[in-house]
């Protein structure tokens, strides 16, 4: 019992590879379901933070991509890399909104056959989706963090963005991950480039 309590207390800290992970278990679970079904060969993350999700996504590409394939299959960018807990993955110091960054990310993802873009930089993240989505190739999977549904009640933080901020010309909801995200309250908006 003592050990179970200790373990549960530790679980509340939500660590991955021994370090605090910002995404909830529910988010990680939905991401894992999507990764194992879609098997993306190019993953880009906007906003590395402390890099625990980056480490997880990087590890996925290392497991999935045989050595003869083009590497790296993963990249992550952040304006401040000092928070990063790992040097395993390729991280670049860059501004998500800079023209050359947008082009780099688009080229990187464009060279894949099953690209995945994780949007988690500056708030509101809908602006990042709207900036990148028009030039992504059709079928690109996009997960944008910190989305709330229209009409949500309760403590709506100013950094959460409503779905109405998304430009639906370029993307549609990606099922079943969209509904999984809603039901598990992950705030992770699952989209696909049309």
Ligand X SMILES: C[S@@+](CC[C@H](N)C(=O)[O-])C[C@H]1O[C@@H](n2cnc3c(N)ncnc32)[C@H](O)[C@@H]1O
For ligand X, give the closer residue by CB, 27 or 140: 27
Least Cα distance to 118 among 128, 110, 127, 108 occurs for 128
β-pair type (115-119, 141-145): parallel
- For ligand X, the binding residues (CB under 6 A) are 22-23, 45, 47-50, 52-53, 77-80, 83, 95-97, 120-122
Closest CB to ligand X among residues 29, 97: 97
Check if the beta carbon of residue 86 is closer than 8 Å to that of residue 18: no
Q: How far is the CB of 76 from ligand X (least distance, A)?
A: 8
Query: Minimum Å distance from CB 162 to ligand X?
Result: 18
CA distance 80 to 190: 26
CB of 156 to ligand X, least distance (A): 17
Q: How far from the centroid of its chain's Cα atoms is residue 189's Cα? A: 10
CA 71 – CA 190 distance, rounded (Å) = 26
Burial of 88 from C-beta contacts in 10 A (0-12 / 13-18 / 19+) = middle
Q: How far is the CB of 1 from ligand X (least distance, A)?
A: 33
Please, what is the minimum distance in Å from the beta carbon of residue 7 to ligand X? Answer: 23
Q: Pick the closer one to ligand X by CB: 51 or 73.
A: 51
Q: Which is nearer to ligand X, 80 or 167 (CB)?
A: 80
Q: How far is the CB of 147 from ligand X (least distance, A)?
A: 13
DSSP state letters, 132-170: HGGGSPTT-EEEEESEE-TT--S---TT-EEGGGS-TTT
Q: Which is nearer to ligand X, 76 or 140 (CB)?
A: 76
Structure tokens belonging to residue 15: 């660590």
C-beta separation of 50 from 83 below 8 A: yes
Nearer to ligand X, 53 or 106 (CB): 53
- Residue nearest ligand X, CB atom distance: 49
């Amino acid at each position: 019992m003592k050990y179970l309590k200790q373990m549960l207390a530790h679980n509340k800290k939500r660590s991955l590879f021994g370090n605090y992970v910002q995404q909830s278990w529910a988010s990680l679970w939905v991401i894992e379901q999507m990764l194992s079904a879609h098997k993306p060969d190019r993953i880009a993350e906007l906003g590395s933070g402390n890099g625990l999700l980056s480490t997880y996504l990087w590890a996925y590409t290392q497991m999935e991509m045989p050595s003869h394939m083009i590497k790296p299959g993963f990249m992550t960018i952040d304006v401040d890399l000092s928070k990063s807990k790992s040097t395993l993955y390729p991280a670049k110091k860059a501004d998500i909104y800079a023209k050359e960054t947008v082009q780099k990310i688009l080229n990187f993802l464009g060279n894949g056959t099953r690209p995945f873009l994780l949007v988690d930089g500056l708030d509101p993240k809908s602006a990042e989706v709207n900036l990148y989505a028009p030039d992504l190739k059709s079928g690109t999977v996009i997960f944008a963090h910190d989305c709330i549904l229209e009409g949500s009640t309760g403590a709506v933080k100013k950094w959460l963005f409503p779905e109405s901020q998304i430009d639906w010309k370029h993307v549609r909801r990606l099922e079943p991950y969209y509904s999984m995200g809603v039901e598990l309250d992950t705030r992770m908006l699952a989209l696909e480039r049309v």
